[in-house]
Amino acid sequence: MQGLPLNQWDVQIYRGVLTGLNEAFYITKEQRDTFRKEDSRCDEFLVPLLRGRHINRYTTDWDETWMISTFPARQLSESQIPDCLIRHLEKFRRSLEPRPAGWSGSGWSGRKAGPYEWFEVQDVISYHEEFSKPKVIYPEITKYIPAYFDRAGYYYPNNKGFILNSETESLAYLTAFLNSHLFRCCYRDNFPELMGNTYEVRKIFVEKIPVKKPTDIQEKLFESLVSLVQHAKKVGALSAANFLEDLIDACVMECYFRDHMAERDLLFHDKIMERLIGYDPDASEEDQSEFHTLFHITLNSPKHPVRNQLLRLTADSPDLLAVIKKEGAV
């Protein structure tokens, strides 16, 4: 397969947060709102928690769970944490206490020994600042191997999810690749298969996957397309979202099989880039909805070459693209 293993890219992969006692550190939206009203400083310690099972392709099913982010790496003292959060954690103190070093008895009711205080999460999380940056999020155990581009750096995944960060590489392109039929067709078997036809997508397996580097123009293409499809899914524009997913998938295949697709008049990049001129991923919700609606209507019209190429994709390439679409289907 073309490309370099991800461990040779300028990317970092981190596991989500292991608290050691979720019932203490996970709170509801209502609890979060109550804490914030009592002490505005709570905003520094409450973050949106995304469970691995709520990560989907280009979207999330976030259940509005929040997490108290007392990471040991922040080197917080108990007095720095708002009283209302300490009172909440005090309810679980017996179960939160770390087992003392040298403990030889049995039946310890708290958490395992470690370099953390009773009011802190169990993992050190020295990389906690990476969660607030743009990142790709994907689950550890999954049937469909989905990825979501958290462009705003909003979510903090739990220990059933991973994040992929980079200051220099195109995270939108990597999101598109990880969500593609090509990725699932070629690399699904690289991950250990568990019960229920699920796969274990841990760092040690992901970082070995070879990925072809995109050109500057391809980076811009996927930055726009991934932003558009995620917005379409966010607002429930499912027809536009499905069309965009098909386009992105075809564009990923063009990155790898351009000559093959050129011979069959199945090239998409240039035609799509023409329609993306003027698109702004930072535009208002209303403007983005208007853009992807018009984009969908135009490129999916019966006489448009892009629509016709999508319809011919598998028929005109039965031994390659059709196989990838079939074997990599969700």
Evaluate if residue 102 carries a pLDDT over 90: no
pLDDT (average), residues 264-283? 95
Tell me: the pLDDT tens digits for 296-308? 999 999 999 999 9
Residue 326 has pLDDT above 70, yes or no: yes
Q: Does the pLDDT value for residue 104 go beyond 90?
A: no
The full set of domain ranges for the chain reads: 4-165, 215-327
Long-range interactions of 58-64: CB distance < 8 A, separation 24+: 58/146, 58/147, 58/148, 58/149, 58/175, 58/179, 58/226, 58/229, 58/230, 58/233, 58/241, 58/245, 59/148, 59/230, 59/233, 59/234, 60/137, 60/148, 60/155, 62/155, 64/28, 64/29
Query: What pLDDT, in 10s, does the model give residues 223-242?
Result: 999 999 999 999 999 999 99
pTM metric for this prediction: 0.95
